[in-house]
């Protein structure tokens, strides 16, 4: 059906779809909570990450470096690199949403993949704001609640190696990455970054391969997109 013949979404349908996205995404916070505690962070530190950082890929990157014995600063740099894409989202959303003052500052914390996607597909600014706020708000609330539940449950399990949870960080991060490898450019960038990381593992301290791979992936992606 052509785009101009599709039924116009209503406020109610946008809210319904946004809450659905929020529930599906927020529930995954259970996994982060359990993995973070298994990596050596406390329940308080785990919950603070979800509350203050609030971007899943960056959070998994940080706990992945910590779990492998790397320097937390290296993990923080890796997380910051991954989270930098939210800045680009903000440039696109600012004129669309039209928030100013404290509303803009508050909304900035809700800029994630899901809230961006649910806002940019709407036909007008009013529905874009509804999609952004309901999606971002529901993900934030449920992600933090699920993080706490996962962290408490993970702490109760004890030593994660007894259950094979020490491999969960890599598996969870791969699960986040895989759906994004939809094009030739993304796949080639991921391949080169993975090869570099594997080559650096025996030569550098934990955390450095992840950071180097992230820098290479971003550089290649930007270069290919320009060309």
Q: Are residues 152 and 49 in the same domain?
A: yes
131 in any annotated domain: yes
1 in any annotated domain: no
82 in any annotated domain: yes
176 in any annotated domain: yes
Q: Are residues 146 and 60 in the same domain?
A: yes
| Residue segments in the chain with a per-residue pLDDT below the cut of 50 | 1-4
Tell me the whole-structure pTM to 2 decimals: 0.70
Domain count for the chain? 2
Q: What's the domain range around 203?
A: 182-227
Q: Are residues 105 and 187 in the same domain?
A: no
Q: Are residues 191 and 149 in the same domain?
A: no
Q: What would the pLDDT profile of 93-130 be if each residue is shown by its tens digit?
A: 999 999 999 999 999 999 998 898 889 889 899 999 99
> 44 CB contacts (<8 Å, ≥6 apart)?
none
Q: Are residues 33 and 70 in the same domain?
A: yes
Q: Are residues 132 and 114 in the same domain?
A: yes
Q: Are residues 197 and 114 in the same domain?
A: no
- pLDDT for res 107: 94
Mapped onto helix, strand or coil, the DSSP state of residue 110 is coil
- pLDDT for res 195: 84
User: What number of other Cβ atoms are within 10 A of residue 30's Cβ?
Assistant: 20
Q: Are residues 37 and 102 in the same domain?
A: yes
Q: Taking CA 120 as the corner, what is the angle to CA 114 and CA 122, rounded to the nearest 5 degrees?
A: 110
- pLDDT for res 224: 63
Nearest to 114, CA basis, from 223, 27, 215, 189: 27
- pLDDT for res 110: 95
- pLDDT for res 134: 95
Q: Are residues 58 and 134 in the same domain?
A: yes
Q: Are residues 165 and 78 in the same domain?
A: yes
């Amino acid at each position: 059906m052509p785009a101009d013949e599709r039924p116009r979404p209503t406020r109610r349908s946008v809210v319904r779809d946004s809450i659905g996205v929020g529930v599906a995404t927020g529930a995954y916070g259970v996994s982060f909570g359990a993995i973070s505690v298994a990596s050596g962070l406390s329940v308080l530190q785990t919950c603070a990450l979800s509350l203050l950082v609030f971007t899943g890929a960056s959070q998994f990157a940080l706990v992945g470096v910590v779990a492998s014995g790397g320097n937390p600063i290296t993990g923080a740099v890796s997380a910051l690199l991954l989270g930098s894409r939210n800045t680009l989202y903000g440039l696109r959303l600012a004129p669309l949403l039209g928030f100013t003052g404290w509303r803009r500052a508050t909304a900035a914390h809700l800029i994630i993949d899901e809230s961006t996607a649910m806002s940019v597909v709407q036909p007008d600014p009013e529905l874009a704001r509804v999609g952004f706020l309901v999606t971002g708000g529901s993900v934030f609330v449920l992600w933090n609640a699920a993080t706490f539940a996962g962290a408490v449950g993970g702490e109760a399990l004890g030593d994660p190696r007894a259950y094979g949870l020490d491999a969960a960080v890599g598996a969870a991060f791969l699960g986040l990455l895989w759906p994004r490898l939809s094009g030739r450019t993304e796949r080639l960038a991921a391949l080169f970054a993975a090869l570099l990381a594997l080559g650096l593992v025996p030569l550098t301290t934990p955390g450095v391969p992840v950071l180097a791979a992230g820098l290479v992936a971003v550089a290649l992606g930007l270069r290919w997109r320009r060309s």
